[in-house]
Copies of this chain bind each other. A is one copy, B any other.
Amino acid sequence: MRTPLAPDMFDPVCPSELSPIRFGDKWAGLVIRCLEGGPRRYSELRVPLRRVSPKALTASLRSLERTGLVARTVRTAPVRAVEYALTPLGHSMIAPMNAACAWASEHWDELLDAREGLGTR
């Protein structure tokens, strides 16, 4: 199955913004979300993740590869194309990620309150 990519992962507000739960490095969670709907080429990923520099994106992908969550495959003919896809292990992370997102949504107002309570003191 191959669903369309979100046009911009930073629009309007990333629900994970306030959540303390992180999956790997800074961008790993968003990258996994982008790969959830099927394999993607590097340049495809750059569109919704346009606010991430190529260096940081590559670093995140390499890290995900190292952890075994993402597989990188290169095709040379007819044109060079590099595809990134979730491994079975990567797919298995979707469940805990959804749990984390659900938690953040449920406690959104408390998380906001905590952040604001700080500014005032």
Contact = CB atoms under 8 A, between A and B. Distances in A.
A83 B69 CA distance: 39
A6 interface: no
A103 B110 contact: no
A100 to B, nearest CB: 5
Contact of A21 (B22, B66, B103, B115): B22
A67 B114 contact: yes
Contacts of A117: 68
Interface stretch (A41-49, A50-58, A88-96): A88-96
Given A21-B23, A24-B20, A66 B100 contact: no
Interface in A49-91: 66-69, 89
Nearest to A28: B20
Contacts of A20: 23-24, 28, 67, 69, 93
A66 B114 contact: yes
A20 to B, nearest CB: 4
11 contacts: A21-B21, A22-B22, A66-B118, A67-B115, A68-B114, A68-B117, A92-B107, A95-B103, A96-B99, A99-B99, A100-B100
